[in-house]
Structure 1
Amino acid sequence: MLEPPEPDDDAVSLPRAPVAASPRVLVLTCADLLHRGDLEGARRIAGAVLSSTDPRGDAADRLAHHFARALALRADEGHGGGAPAVVGVGGGPASSTAYLAYNKIAPFLRFAHLTANQAILEAAAGARRLHIVDLDASHGVQWPPLLQAICDRADANLGPPEVRITGAGPDRDVLLRTGDRLRAFASSLNLPFRFHPLLLPCTGQLAADPATGLELHPDETLAVNCVTFLHRLSRDGELAAFLRWVRSMNPAVVTVAEREGSAGGGDDDDDLPRRVAAAMDFYSAVFDALEATVPPGCAERLSVEQEILGTEIDAVVAGPGGGGGRPRGFEEWAAAAHAAGLSPQPASTFAAAQARLLLRLHYPSEGYAAEEARGACFLGWQTRTLMSVSSWH
């Protein structure tokens, strides 16, 4: 089984970086200085990394550059005990162009969507009305393949079932455009379809009143889709309350897809050096995978690294209060789901085979691997597990 490596504690504790230190050691030293309150020292080290690395260079340079820039942003905000509001490289949410490019050149989103969709299809078999609550609707790229599969499997005498999606997100315009695209696609399939946008400016609002704007009907089969969403509920109590609310709706299936990682510590821990070390371990595998499969000057790769990965790194450096949430591993997600009263719905053999086929057909690199274990599906690069997808009911 692919396993994530432990953060390098020795590298984190360096008080000052030697002249010939690697960019990684310099980044970790910068994080340590910032954690200690030495803003000038942190700015100096971050500046040295930014001047010596190339965001268009090799994977190590790109990785160090993005982390140094994120740390410089935090230092400039004058961190004083609470995480600052960090702005991503793109100045806001990723564009649809960058999002679609990420879907094209890296398998993470498609792996999560494909595996989650298969769980929803299996749980909703025979249903005449399906309601999907998507906690991060974003640009809606997960749903056209599912709508197509529902039509393909429909009983010829009864016709396809009615599908309703409640799509949540922080940007109303993005949600409205997503709804328009999905309605047009469903219409081309003659599929009865409705889309309701659910504006959630922040996850804190959802945790405080999760039923806000959520319309449920007793004759619908309910699926709750949590693809790269739960990590934003950074505190254990917040996550537990949310999962209990999900359980209270008695969904037929709850799909969970998350990056595999662990920063250690508790709810109130803001150990920046440890968090940055763990994140560098994770993103080094992601950047290595992109380097092995996409040319360095590829415009799509640059937009993905700047608008998506760079923004994620900003959020990690900002900490739980800055939108980065709290990284957890599959065992932690499973424990939280069990504690909330949810039962595992093991991944089918077909789901795992489908994920491996996806990698062979669209991401033909020997480095990617998909496997089923502990009732979930895992995606990794080389020896590093990067994502897990599980389903519950």
Structure 2
Amino acid sequence: MLGSFSSSHEEEEDPSDLQYQIPQPSRSFSPPAIQMRQLLISCAELVSQSDFSAARRLLSILSSNSSPFGDSTERLVHQFSTALSLRLSRYATPATSSGAMSASANTAAADSEAFHSTYLSLNQITPFIRFSQLTANQAILEAIEGQRAIHILDFDIMHGVQWPPLMQAIAERCGNLHPPPMIRITGTGEDLGILQRTGDRLLKFAQSLGLKFQFHPLLLRNDPTSVPLYLPSALQLLPDETLAVNCVLYLHRLLRDDSRDLRLFLHKIKAMEPKVVTIAEREANHNHPLFLQRFVEALDHYTAVFDSLEATLPPTSRERLAVERIWFGREIVDIVSAEGDNRRERHERFESWEVMLRSSGFSNVPLSPFALSQAKLLLRLHYPSEGYRLQIINDSFFLGWQNQALFSVSSWH
């Protein structure tokens, strides 16, 4: 069984080392969640109608009834109010919008390190990424059965925490076979230093298992339209290798107002003839061209996310605060406040990915019963809340909270 790996976390800084104290949650009366939801939607309607004065008045009410330290509703309202306020500052006063965008870019650059560190907390306190990675790993493990040379192309490898469990599973399957299989990982990212440190950790872990291993960093500019141009010229593909392509929470970054770049990317991946392509994405439509519809969809999605955090972590959890503020808060700001090429979080539902993948020549590979049992075991052992729901639809897995599907994982060939 593919297990979990945590030793690489020891070298990372503690993302919860915030520079302020977390106050105890307020016990005073706050409006019901359904009322706050309607106020947020009303404010978004005013913004979409360019009634900025009325929107500001409503934002003042929302801000006074929200807090990053309160219950899940107060925290959610705080993040969406912040995003709406930023949208107002960008579009209500065009003369200063460029300055606001520049300030936002500077803030994003300053928070880059915190963003990467928070990823490790996200991986620990929520099951979403671990579920996606574990299920993808099982699909890869089954696809490369018996192969002696394996090449994994991982788009946006981050800290590489997905791969030690797969290496361990490969080592256990090989037993005393000599020579052991050769594993090469090409990991993409935007920070060469992070890529190199990730490669060093993975190499040490592979050596501890007796596996032959190579890591190749592939630096991609922070420009999704340039990504297809790198493929396959920037990759070293050997004829005797079995190729697996991993896209966990990545494909949505290639979407723009048209799907040209994504389709070019998929066609180039298909031309590499990978044995398996694993895909995990959020189950939400945050790519709608109409702001108000995108806002409501995001509100429903992140309400479920924040409710799941409320049910599994105490309000004083520093990890929870960091994840809500730095990770999910950043996503909400992007979905709500950004437009055009500045907007990156363009999530689509599984049905849309299915259409695009099939039109690019891919066929869905059913995820195995063993992958299902692993996903169930992960939830039971590490995230025992009864609110998480696992579904199988069209041979793909969906993880959600209560009745809201939040993430999908699928395998393609």
Tell me the distance in 2 between the aligned counterparts of 1:320 and 1:372.
Answer: 34
Greater displacement, 316-325 / 300-309? 316-325
Write out per-residue CA displacement over residues 27-80 of structure 1, whole angstroms, 9 at most, x where no aligned residue.
223322333334444444334322320111111111111011112122223366
After TM superposition, give the deviation of residue 320 of structure 1 in Å. 5.3
Aligned position for 2:43: 30
Match of 1:220 in 2: 241
- Supply the RMSD in Å over aligned alpha carbons: 2.3
CA contact (8 A) 1:94 1:308 kept: no
TM-score for both structures, normalised by structure 2:
0.84
Q: What's 2:166 paired with?
A: 146
CA distance in 2, matches of 1:192, 1:45: 60
Secondary structure of the residue that 2:365 maps to in structure 1?
A: coil
Is the contact made by 2:150 and 2:181 (CA closer than 8 Å) also made in structure 1?
A: yes
CA drift at 1:283:
0.6
Q: 2:129 aligns with which of 103, 109, 115?
A: 109
Q: Structure 2: 5+ residue runs without aligned partners?
A: 1-32
CA contact (8 A) 2:287 2:346 kept: no
SS in 2 for 1:77: helix
Query: What does residue 8 of structure 1 align with?
Result: none
Question: 1:357 aligns to what?
Answer: 377
Cα contact 1:377–1:390 (8 A) shared by 2? yes
Q: Where does residue 301 of structure 2 map in the other structure?
A: 282
Matching of residue 68 in structure 1 with residue 81 in structure 2 = yes
| 1:284-343: CA deviation from partner (whole Å, max 9, x where unpaired) | 001000101110110110111111111111121224522434221111111111000011
Structure number having the greater helix percentage:
2
Q: Are the equivalent residues in 1 in contact too, given 2:147–2:242 (CA < 8 A)?
A: yes
Overall identity of the aligned pairs, in %? 47
| Structure 1 runs not aligned, ≥5 long | 1-19
C-alpha distance in structure 2 between counterparts of 1:114 and 1:178, whole Å? 19
Does structure 2 retain, via aligned residues, the 8 Å contact 1:95–1:307? yes
Alpha-carbon spacing, 1:196–1:323, altered in 2? closer, same or farther (3 Å): farther
Instruction: Compute the displacement of 1:242 (Å).
Output: 1.3
SS state at 1:328 partner? coil
Mean CA deviation greater in 320-329 or 143-152: 320-329
Partner SS state of residue 320, structure 2 = helix
Query: Which range is displaced more, 42-51 or 288-297?
Result: 42-51
Provide the residue aligned with 1:302 in structure 2: 321
Offset at residue 208 of structure 1 (A): 4.0
Among 367, 373, 378, the alignment partner of 2:398 is: 378
Q: Distance in 2 between matches of 1:219 and 1:48?
A: 63
2:265 matched residue in structure 1: 242
For the 8 Å contact 2:135–2:371, the answer to whether it is kept is: yes
Structure 1 SS opposite 2:390: strand
Aligned residue for 1:312?
331
2:26 maps to what in 1?
Answer: none
The equivalent of 1:56 in structure 2 is 69
Greater shift in the superposed pair: 251-260 or 377-386: 377-386
Say if 2:188 is the partner of 1:168.
Answer: yes
Structure-1 residue corresponding to 2:292? 273
Aligned to 1:346: 366
CA distance in 1 between partners of 2:373 and 2:352 (Å): 25
Aligned to 1:231: 252
Count of aligned residue pairs for this structure pair: 370
Counterpart residue identity of residue 239, structure 1: L
Change (3 A) 1:250 1:287: same
SS of alignment partner, residue 22 of structure 1: helix
CA contact (8 A) 1:39 1:78 kept: no
Matched, 1:252 2:275: yes
Does residue 328 of structure 1 match 2:348? yes
Counterpart of 1:179 in structure 2 is 199
Summarize deviations over 1:162-220 as a string: whole Å, max 9, x none: 11111111122221221121112112112111111111122121034433522211111
- The residue that corresponds to 2:7 in the other structure is none
Counterparts of 2:294 and 2:344, CA distance in 1: 11
| 3-state SS, counterpart of residue 275 of structure 1 | helix
Q: Which residue matches 1:129?
A: 149
Worse-superposed segment, 108-117 or 61-70: 61-70
Q: Given the alignment, which residue of 71, 77, 81 partners 2:90?
A: 77
Q: Is 1:106–1:290's contact at 8 Å kept on the other side of the alignment?
A: yes
Give the TM-score normalised by structure 1. 0.88
Which residue identity is paired with 1:346?
P
What is the letter of the counterpart of residue 220 of structure 1? E
User: Which segment is superposed worse, 211-220 or 225-234?
Assistant: 211-220
Paired residue for 1:193?
A: 213
The residue matched to 1:30 in structure 2 has which SS? helix
Answer whether contact 1:352 1:371 (CA < 8 A) is retained: no
Contact 1:98 1:307 in 2 (8 A): yes
Gap change, CA 1:226 and 1:21, over 3 Å in 2: closer
1:261 aligned residue: 284
Alpha-carbon contact 2:253-2:346 (below 8 Å) kept:
yes
Distance 1:336 1:114 in 2: 24
Matched with 1:14 is none
- Report if the CA contact (8 A) 1:347-1:372 is conserved: no
